[in-house]
């Protein structure tokens, strides 16, 4: 990353955000400056509030205090529909396809939010040219796809909307190493086209190795925001996670202590 990145306004700015569920406060003044056209990986122990941060950015949870800006535009407490229209695609953790529908039908439904419906079939054709697997499986019931193929379908469906920012929560869970690489290479290709990617990953080392920036979240607060290589080399990381009340690395898949130590 060149130093002049600093002068660019961030694609997404999270400032002092407080949010939670009912009486529980999960995000405790979270901050983030997410660089445009870069991949930023959010890491942190289980329960740190990573998924909550994404839900809050996407308008699924009310912001109790603080602000969220997309570029210069304030999207604090806007509806998910508005935030989607502003160019944000959110791909939650787990399976988010319609399993009983065909691959093509899944893509068509993903395009429902498009303003120019007329172009939908052309856009789907273009996606299928880019992802031959989707063309091969176009008329297949989506439930028959492998976990990795389903995740690719979700990413492709999101791409139909020409997002500026993609929020993707733990895409690699349950995927074979090969599919993880494939999903990551698609994210890199998107980044290379100028799309901003904010990613949550438990496999911190692998994710940071392919990221431009990293953000360490602990107990709903941002502890570190830095270039990914610096975070990988940061001795504080292990300490942070040891202080996060995690079980020893061997027993918890969510533990980063063993991975980064």
Residues contacting 178, CB < 8 A, separation 6+: 148
Name which of ligand ADP, Mg ion, none residue 48 binds, using a CB cut-off of 5 to 8 Å depending on partner kind: ligand ADP
Q: Token pair 């991975």 is at which residue?
A: 259
Name which of ligand ADP, Mg ion, none residue 244 binds, using a CB cut-off of 5 to 8 Å depending on partner kind: none
Contact residues for ligand ADP (CB under 6 A)? 21, 24, 26, 44, 46-52
Contact residues for Mg ion (CB under 5 A)? 50-51
- Residue 232's φ and ψ, nearest 5 degrees, are -60, -30
- Closest approach of ligand ADP to the CB of residue 44, in Å: 6
Name which of ligand ADP, Mg ion, none residue 3 binds, using a CB cut-off of 5 to 8 Å depending on partner kind: none
Angle at 79 between CA 73 and CA 82, to 5 degrees: 55
Nearest to 77 by CA among 90, 60, 93, 53: 60
211 neighbors 40 (Cβ within 8 angstroms) = yes
42 versus 103: smaller Cβ distance to ligand ADP: 42
- Closest approach of Mg ion to the CB of residue 40, in Å: 16
- Closest approach of ligand ADP to the CB of residue 140, in Å: 32
How far is Cα 216 from Cα 223, in angstroms, rounded to an integer? 5
31 versus 102: smaller Cβ distance to ligand ADP: 31
128 versus 197: smaller Cβ distance to Mg ion: 197
| Token reading at 137 | 């499986």
User: In residues, how long is the chain?
Assistant: 261
- Closest approach of ligand ADP to the CB of residue 82, in Å: 22
Nearest to 256 by CA among 236, 238, 244: 238
Name the DSSP letter for residue 247. P
Using DSSP's 3-state secondary structure scheme, residue 25 falls into strand
51 versus 106: smaller Cβ distance to ligand ADP: 51
54 neighbors 90 (Cβ within 8 angstroms) = yes
51 versus 106: smaller Cβ distance to Mg ion: 51
55 versus 137: smaller Cβ distance to Mg ion: 55
- Closest approach of ligand ADP to the CB of residue 61, in Å: 9
| Token reading at 243 | 């202080």
Name which of Mg ion, ligand ADP, none residue 52 binds, using a CB cut-off of 5 to 8 Å depending on partner kind: ligand ADP
Nearest to 186 by CA among 161, 208, 213, 168: 168
- Closest approach of ligand ADP to the CB of residue 79, in Å: 18
Name which of Mg ion, ligand ADP, none residue 44 binds, using a CB cut-off of 5 to 8 Å depending on partner kind: ligand ADP
Name which of Mg ion, ligand ADP, none residue 158 binds, using a CB cut-off of 5 to 8 Å depending on partner kind: none
């Amino acid at each position: 990353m060149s130093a002049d990145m600093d002068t660019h306004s961030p694609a997404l700015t999270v400032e002092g955000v407080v949010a939670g569920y009912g009486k529980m406060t999960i995000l405790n003044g979270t901050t983030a400056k997410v660089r445009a056209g870069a991949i930023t990986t959010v890491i942190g122990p289980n329960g740190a509030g990573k998924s909550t941060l994404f839900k809050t950015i996407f308008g699924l949870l009310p912001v109790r205090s603080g602000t969220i800006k997309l570029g210069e535009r304030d999207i604090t407490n806007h509806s998910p529909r508005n935030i989607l229209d502003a160019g944000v695609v959110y791909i939650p953790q787990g399976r988010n396809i319609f399993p009983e529908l065909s691959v093509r039908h899944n893509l068509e439904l993903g395009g429902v939010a498009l303003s120019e419906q007329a172009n939908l079939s052309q856009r789907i054709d273009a996606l299928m040219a880019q992802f031959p697997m989707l063309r091969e499986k176009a008329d297949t019931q989506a439930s028959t796809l492998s976990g990795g193929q389903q995740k690719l379908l979700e990413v492709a469906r999101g791409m139909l909307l020409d997002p500026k920012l993609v929020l993707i929560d733990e895409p690699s869970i349950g995927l074979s190493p090969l599919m993880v690489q494939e999903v990551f290479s698609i994210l890199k290709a998107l980044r290379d086209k100028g799309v901003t990617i904010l990613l949550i990953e438990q496999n911190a080392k692998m994710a940071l190795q392919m990221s431009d920036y990293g953000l360490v979240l602990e107990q709903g607060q941002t502890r570190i925001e830095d270039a990914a290589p610096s975070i990988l080399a940061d001795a504080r990381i292990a300490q942070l996670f040891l202080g996060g009340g995690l079980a020893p690395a061997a027993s918890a898949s969510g533990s980063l202590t063993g991975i980064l130590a």
